Structure 1
Amino acid sequence: MTRPVRREYVDGRFGQVHLRCAKPVRPGGIPLVCLHMSPMSGRVFEKFAAEMAENRPVFALDTPGFGMSDPPPAPPRIEDYAASTFAALDALGLAGPVDLIGYHTGAMTAVQMAADAGERVRRVIMIGAPILTPEERTAFAEHYRHRAPQADGSHVLRRWQGFYHHHHRPGVSVAAINDMFREALLGGNDEWWGHAAAFAHDLTAAMRRSASATLVLATGDDLETQTWRAEGSGENYRVAAVPGWGHGFLDHHAGEVAAFLSAWLDGPAGIVPPTPASALGPRYPAADGPFGPASEPEPPHHPERNAG
């Protein structure tokens, strides 16, 4: 049974933090805190939260500077996002252990939280594991670097083309993709801050420090190759192959995802539940690297002009 999803604000480390929350009819259950990818918002978890809240409270936070949360004064690190999330949890009165689910950049933040304060984090679910080689860090940083707004809107077109490439799949309309795309624009001129923090972060080191039981979802998205590097990271890590999901799966398969993840959160940490049927489909788009197409030609890159 789905539960109503409501919105509220709490005070955080950098100002107000906007969040969505859904709660079960009967109080109880270990809270689940949801951390989105950059540069999106907690809205990506909305349908999932409504399903997941049958037996536990669910909180989907907007990262500082994204969604409707106040921004930090300067480009943050993943450690800053982790500290900000803990501050928001304090404001919510969530002092006891919580479970975390993080998507890409959010997965990095979740693992960092488990590494920094393991007594406050019971289990972690990573949607993708951005475990990057030095060469990949350089390539990702260049691809997702800040681009100054252009009068002809080409900077928005470039972002739309990449977003559409990764979210389009059979049965998903252009209108549905467009509806979610607006969340990617709420970071404004500082939308690159989340990516910059991610590409400067040593996720592998944080994973070694975390002792929380962790389930890594290899969803067949643009970080598929990097995500499978989590296999063998330690006894507390399990990787689940769910290649048919891809970006948008939290909307398109919310009920199945909630049942699958509830089974893992409530069951033995070392056992991955049976894979849902929707997760067994083919990867889409086909395996063609982490970057989608971009509009051409692109404006010249002038770091001294684009650094603001």
Structure 2
Amino acid sequence: MSPMSGRIFAKFIAEMGEDRLAVAVDTPGFGMSDTPEELPEIADYARAMAAVIDALGIDGPVDLMGYHTGSLISCDLARMRPQQIRRVVLVSAPLLNDQEREEMRTLYARIVPSLDGEHLMKRWRGYLHHNLGRGLDLDAVADMFPDGLLGRNRAWYGHRAAFNHQPDMGLPEVRQPIMVINPNDDLVQYTPRAAALMVNGHIVDKPEWGHGFLDASTGEAVALVRGFLNTTA
């Protein structure tokens, strides 16, 4: 999820990794990852994730889980490696029409630094709006917030790539089983559009969850995802 780091998956993979290898990767340019030399597109991010799989020496099947921008990346990687990627979990689906894309581009445009630090306050207010409540208190939100600043002046890269990507996310071309989790976040009204585009997928509505549910409802999230990934049919 742009511009956050793999930290948002930390509690989740700690439990998920009890019966499988679970890895959370920083999207290039965010967290502690290297910065792309040129403005990245979703396909560039997907190739970077494919390189991670290769670097880990994984020869067998791989399951993917993406969150917002990561949902787009996961779909691209699933199409890129249809024989290796087994199942896909998406947290929300940014399926936007042209007008909505333009509105999002304006909302998530590059934030210019200001001497009084208002650019940081703007980020903080937005982060509070999307994360406070639904199981997360102020201390938890404050603990998570700095990870979103690690993207520095590149925080807008991921959103730019997302809003430049193909409108259908490539979902009609993904043949692997997909589970879309639809929490009550800022994409809740767009995510249901995935139902008409998926070849082999379903949506799980979770109105009681919002941003931060991987921390606030870790056990439930792990049970949901593990149940889907362990399905053999």
TM-score, length-normalised on structure 1?
0.74
| 1:222 partnered with 2:186 | yes
Q: Structure 1 residues 170 and 78 mapped into 2: Cα distance closer, same or farther (>3 Å)?
A: closer
Q: 1:259 aligns with which of 220, 223, 228?
A: 223
* 1:131-177 deviation per Cα after TM superposition (whole angstroms, max 9, x unaligned): 00100000000110012100111111111111100101155321210
**Matched residue SS, 1:102:** strand
Structure 2 residue aligned with 1:160: 124
Q: For the residues of structure 1 that align with 2:134 and 2:123, how far apart are their CA atoms?
A: 21
For residues 84-163 of structure 1, what are the structure 2 equivalents within 5 Å? Answer: 84-163=48-127
Q: Tell me what 2:35 maps to.
A: 71
Partner of 2:154: 190
Answer whether contact 1:108 1:203 (CA < 8 A) is retained. Answer: no
Q: How many residues align?
A: 233
Structure 2: distance between partners of 1:96 and 1:63: 23
Structure-2 separation of matches of 1:267 and 1:45: 22
Provide, for residues 29-62 of structure 1, a one-character-per-residue CA deviation record: whole Å limited to 9, x for no partner. Answer: xxxxxxxx00000000000001111211100000
Q: TM-score when scaled to structure 2?
A: 0.97
2:189 alignment partner, SS class: helix
Q: Given the alignment, which residue of 171, 177, 180 partners 1:213?
A: 177
Report the Cα distance in structure 2 between the residues aligned to 1:221 and 1:258, rounded to whole angstroms. 19
Structure 1 vs Structure 2: percent identity of aligned residues?
Answer: 44
Residues 31 and 150, structure 2, Cα contact 8 Å, conserved in 1: yes
Q: Which amino acid aligns with 1:68?
A: M
Return the offset for 1:203.
4.7
Contact 1:166 1:222 in 2 (8 A): yes
Partner of 2:202 in structure 1? 238
In the superposition, relative to structure 1, how do residues 213 and 174 fare at CA in structure 2: closer, same or farther (>3 Å)? same
Find the aligned partners of 1:170 and 1:97 in 2 and give their Cα distance: 34
| AA at the equivalent of 1:163 | Y
In structure 1, the partner of 2:17 is 53
Of 249, 252, 255, the match for 2:213: 249
- Aligned partners of 2:169 and 2:210: how far apart in 1? 26
Q: Could you tell me how far apart the structure 2 residues matched to 1:43 and 1:230 are?
A: 27
Query: Residue 40 of structure 1 aligns with which residue?
Result: 4
Which of residues 135, 144, 163 in structure 2 aligns to 1:180?
A: 144
1:42 is aligned with what amino acid?
G
Task: Judge conservation of contact 2:174–2:198 (CA < 8 Å) in 1.
Answer: no
Does the CA-based 8 Å contact 2:40-2:157 persist in structure 1? yes
Task: Give the SS at the match of 2:49.
Answer: helix
Is 1:115–1:207's contact at 8 Å kept on the other side of the alignment?
Answer: no
The answer (yes or no) to whether the contact 2:134–2:216 under 8 Å persists in 1 is no
C-alpha separation between the residues in 1 aligned to 2:135 and 2:36? 38
2: CA distance, partners of 1:95 / 1:40: 28
Which structure features the higher share of strand residues? 1
Q: Is the 8 A contact 1:39 1:66 kept in 2?
A: yes
Give the deviation of 1:205 after TM superposition: 5.0
Greater RCO (Cα-Cα under 8 Å, separation 6 or more): 2
| Distance in 1 (alpha carbons) for counterparts of 2:4 and 2:231 | 30
In structure 1, distance between residues paired with 2:84 and 2:155: 29
**C-alpha distance in 2 between matches for 1:38 and 1:165:** 16
Are the counterparts in 2 of residues 108 and 198 from structure 1 also a CA contact under 8 Å? yes
Q: CA deviation at 1:225?
A: 0.7
Structure of larger gyration radius: 1
- Relative distance call for 1:205 and 1:45 in structure 2 (3 A) is closer
**Structure 1 unaligned runs (5+)?**
1-36, 270-308
- Contact 1:147 1:155 survives alignment (8 Å): yes
Q: What is the CA RMSD across the aligned residues, in angstroms?
A: 1.2
Poorly superposed stretches of 4+, deviation over 3 Å = none
CA–CA separation in structure 2 for the residues paired with 1:243 and 1:112: 27
Structure 2 unaligned residues grouped into runs of 5+: none
Quote how far apart the aligned CAs of 1:94 are.
1.4
